[in-house]
Amino acid sequence: MARTPPALLSPADQERRRALSLMKTVALGALVFMAVLFVVAFTLQERYPWLDYVRAAAEGGMVGALADWFAVTALFRHPLGIPIPHTAIIPNRKDEIGRTLGEFVETNFLSEEVVRTKLDSLSIATSVGRWLTDPEPSAQGQTHAQRVISEGATMATGVLNALSDDDVNGIIEDLARTHLIMPEWGPPLGGWLERIVASGAHHGAVDMAAENVAAWLEGNHAAFDGLVSRRLPTWVPSLAHRLVDDTIYNEAVRFVAAVRADPDHPARHAIDAYLERLADGLQHDPATIGRLEDSKIAVFDSPRVRELAAAAWNTAKTGLLTALADPDSGLRTRATAALVDVGGRLRTDAALQRRVDDWVGQGAVFLVSRYRHDIASIITDTVERWDPAETTEKIELMVGRDLQYIRLNGTIVGALAGLAIFTIAHAFLG
């Protein structure tokens, strides 16, 4: 099996490979030691009878070492390259191992009981609140709240930059057409106007209009010069011209003053009657409703209105991008303050803590109950995509060092067992 070049391994895997190589050397050294010991004892046992015990221990040690070497090696590859049945278990049963591991995780780690029990032992709301209100800056020179807003600003900036202005304008136009142009305005607008007139809420608007007209008249006396007199015959004296214009102006001033002073002025009643007729026509007169709809369509289909909508979007987008890019902008400052305020409430408000913890728990349980098979399938799918050699190496790097201890222990236990068996046999059988 080809080994992964060290440069392609993570630092942790490189360290595991060194530890595994060291333990393989130790286990092999123990086997060699037992073999040398056996040769020495076997050669000299007739001269030194006590070496029979050493030979028996060395025999048992070699048998144990070889047996455990075979067992450990059979997990990852064919011993000595010989395709012995039931060897190279991991590469041959990789997919089954992946499925079994996925089922194990799904059953024992992604169950509702396990997740709920773990979340119940944590005070998520309090921890989040304490984290958000921590005033100490992080390694980036920002508090946690500022960091959250900074990352959110980066994401929002990316979204805004990714948006096509034409697409946004199209969406705005579609929304306007669906919610503004297509619905009929007349009846709801007429009902709204009818309620305003019935409640007298329009009287303030009439008063403001009368005040504005009076103010305009006061500052625009010259606008009446020649307003009527220019239509008089040429033989009328110029003094009469001035008198006519002044009379018209003074009557207008007196009329507006009378409207302002008298809440029961006929002009006010005329306005009320007109608004009542207009409200009724907007609700029930097809001709009035049609004129309003024609005017509405003409306004919204105007290229100028579309240009204004596009300009409004571009202005809003530019303003948002500028505010998001500036750490000291009002938008980010207020967002940070709001986030810190939320963190403070999470730390001190017990009722809010319970609600948040309950929401998180319910959400986690819902996700686990609905998607735990999909989550666990990540393990199965990942293992299935692995190359058998790669899978074998990954697993061997994780557990191989401990398995080499089995070889070492097998050598020691085999030596002790061989010595015990020989001693008992020699004692009883001679």
Q: What is the pLDDT of residue 57?
A: 93
Q: Domain boundaries in the chain?
A: 9-92+386-429, 181-301
Instruction: Quickly list DSSP for 370-424.
Output: HHHHHHHHHHHHHHHHS-HHHHHHHHHHHHHHHHHHHHHHHHHHHHHHHHHHHHH
Q: What is the pLDDT of residue 32?
A: 94
- The pLDDT tens digits for 281-334 are 989 888 988 888 888 777 776 676 677 777 877 888 888 889 888 888 888 899
Q: What is the pLDDT of residue 257?
A: 92
Q: What is the pLDDT of residue 294?
A: 84
Q: Give the list of residues 6+ apart from residue 112 with CB closer than 8 angstroms, or none.
A: 365, 368, 369
Chain centroid to CA 223: 65
User: What is the token pair recorded at 319?
Assistant: 């303003």
Q: Is 5 helix (H, G, I), strand (E, B) or coil?
A: coil
Hey, what amino acid is at 7? A
Q: Which residues of the chain carry a pLDDT beneath 50?
A: none
- The pLDDT tens digits for 104-140 are 888 888 888 888 888 878 788 888 888 888 888 776 6
Q: Do residues 249 and 221 touch, judged by C-beta distance below 8 A?
A: yes
Q: Do residues 234 and 266 touch, judged by C-beta distance below 8 A?
A: no
Chain centroid to CA 326: 22
State the DSSP code for 180. Answer: I
Among residues 127, 272, 304, the alpha carbon closest in space to that of 206 is found at 272
Q: What is the pLDDT of residue 232?
A: 60
Q: What is the pLDDT of residue 202?
A: 86
User: What is the token pair recorded at 20?
Assistant: 């595994």
